[in-house]
């Protein structure tokens, strides 16, 4: 009986162990299933979670508006009431801007632009289109006014050619002809007179009409052209004295053809003639004829009291006396004006930099053109708690970002961004 009792106990213990091991395995299986379910749920939730939020897109819009004034300053763009577009891709760090797609991630999938203009103050408005996720109200695919790839407003304005002297001139056959020439100015390139090309010629030995063509092209490829018509006229003829004899008398009648009128002087070009202080006076030209049409230009005497170094009114005097002792005179008024060179743009260097609290840095101002008459400037800061400015020196006050702006003459300004850490 004792032996059977032991076998029963042993069998009972074995069954108890098997039950305990089965429960453990079942528990492990249930735990694995639970973990798998959790993983699946998390995966589904993450899959449905958007990669970009409205805050991401609004952050990009804000960065574009912040970057646009810096870009305008860097490119020396003169804002007017006409709107221009600054493309987002031109403000990215890869294009020399400071918008970093790694920090402003919406820039990775969005395209857009900033519309900039200036009435009383500068205005910047950002527009973006981010696939089918977000579009700024008012966004258009083809804005009416764009900038060139380097950010400057495209120059479509032709240069202006101004003829020196008359557009139509008469020259006596057999006399000499000197082309008075022309001047050329461009809205971007300034004085481009030296680039004028002249075609055509005048043959004063042959009566007829001749055309001189003046052409010039600016750096943007805009071309201008002017023409001058030169007419070579036949030299006037005079009737020689003729002796006639009358049979009934021995008295001779002669005709000396002596002119009864005075000569005349014709001034070519502008009268009055205007010029700037420091520039050179270029005689526009003149001609003179006696009362019967003979060319006596070579006999004209020219005097003047012009002082190009001092603003004022001066006179050029022309006098001529023909072979019969008769005289004529003419006067050209010359106005020498005080020259003022307008400021077309200013820029700052550096235009983006970092300072530690308590440090300072002086910005360099560049004027365009370098000979601008008025180079006075004033300074301002967008956040005096972060950085102050005095005479172009920036003083870091506390952590943050501030935009430093310099204001020059003729409505020009430039900005730089300072980050204080």
Among 235, 252, 273, the domain boundary falls at 235
DSSP 13-77: HHHHHHHHHHHHHHHHHHHHHHHHHHHHHHHHHHHHS-SS-HHHHHHHHHHHHHHHHHHHHHTT-
Is 230 part of a structural domain of the chain? yes
Among 135, 169, 192, the domain boundary falls at 135
Residue 47: pLDDT over 80: no
Residues 359 and 373 in one domain: yes
**CATH number for position 267:** 2.60.40.10
- Location of structure tokens 């979670």: 49
Give tens-digit pLDDT for 177-216: 878 888 888 888 888 888 899 999 998 888 899 999 999 9
Residues 332 and 365 in one domain: no
Give tens-digit pLDDT for 81-140: 778 889 998 899 888 888 999 889 899 999 999 998 887 788 899 999 998 889 998 888
What's the confidence (pLDDT) of residue 156?
76
Q: Who wins on pLDDT, 9 or 228?
A: 228
At 400, is the pLDDT very low, low, confident or very high (cuts 50, 70, 90)? very high
Is 321 part of a structural domain of the chain? yes
Strands 345-349 and 364-368: antiparallel
> d(Cα 373, Cα 383) in Å, to the nearest integer?
31
- Could you tell me the sign of the dihedral formed by the alpha carbons of 188, 190, 192, 193, in that order? positive
If one counts the domains in the chain, the total is 4
Residues 228 and 174 in one domain: yes
Evaluate if pTM is beyond 0.85.
no
Is 106 part of a structural domain of the chain? yes
* Mean pLDDT to the nearest integer, 318-324: 89
Domain that holds residue 402: 345-420
């Amino acid at each position: 009986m004792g032996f059977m009792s032991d076998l029963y106990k042993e069998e009972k213990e074995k069954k108890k162990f098997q039950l305990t091991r089965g429960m453990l395995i079942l528990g492990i299986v249930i735990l694995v299933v639970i973990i798998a379910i959790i993983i699946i749920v998390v995966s589904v939730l993450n899959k449905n979670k958007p990669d970009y939020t409205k805050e991401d897109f609004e952050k990009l819009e804000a960065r574009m508006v912040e970057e646009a004034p810096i870009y305008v300053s860097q490119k020396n763009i003169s804002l007017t009431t006409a709107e221009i577009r600054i493309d987002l891709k031109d403000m990215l760090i890869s294009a020399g801007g400071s918008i970093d797609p790694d920090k402003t991630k919406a820039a990775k999938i969005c395209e857009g632009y900033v519309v900039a203009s200036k009435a009383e103050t500068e205005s910047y408005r950002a527009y973006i289109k981010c696939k089918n996720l977000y579009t700024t109200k008012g966004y258009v695919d083809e804005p009416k006014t764009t900038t060139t790839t380097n950010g400057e407003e495209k120059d479509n304005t032709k240069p202006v050619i101004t003829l020196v002297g008359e557009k139509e001139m008469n020259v006596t056959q057999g006399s000499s002809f000197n082309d008075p020439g022309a001047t050329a100015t461009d809205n971007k390139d300034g004085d481009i007179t030296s680039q004028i090309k002249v075609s055509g010629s005048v043959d004063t030995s042959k009566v007829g009409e001749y055309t001189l063509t003046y052409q010039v092209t600016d750096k943007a490829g805009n071309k201008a052209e002017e023409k001058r018509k030169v007419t070579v006229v036949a030299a006037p003829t005079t009737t020689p004295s003729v002796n006639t004899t009358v049979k009934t008398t021995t008295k001779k009648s002669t005709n000396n053809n002596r002119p009864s009128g005075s000569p005349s002087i014709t001034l070519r070009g502008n009268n009055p003639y205007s010029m700037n202080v420091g520039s050179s006076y270029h005689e526009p030209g003149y001609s003179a004829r006696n009362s019967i049409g003979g060319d006596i230009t070579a006999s004209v005497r020219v005097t003047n009291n012009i002082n190009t170094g001092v603003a004022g009114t001066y006179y050029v005097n022309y006098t001529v006396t023909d072979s019969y002792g008769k005289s004529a005179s003419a006067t050209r008024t010359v106005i020498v004006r005080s020259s003022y060179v307008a400021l077309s743009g200013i820029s700052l260097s550096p235009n983006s930099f970092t300072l530690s609290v308590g440090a300072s840095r002086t910005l360099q101002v560049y004027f365009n053109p370098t000979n601008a008459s008025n180079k006075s400037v004033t300074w301002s800061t967008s956040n005096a708690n972060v950085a102050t400015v005095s005479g172009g020196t920036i003083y870091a006050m506390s952590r943050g970002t501030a935009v430093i702006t310099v204001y020059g003459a003729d409505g020009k300004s430039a900005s730089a961004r300072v980050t204080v850490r």
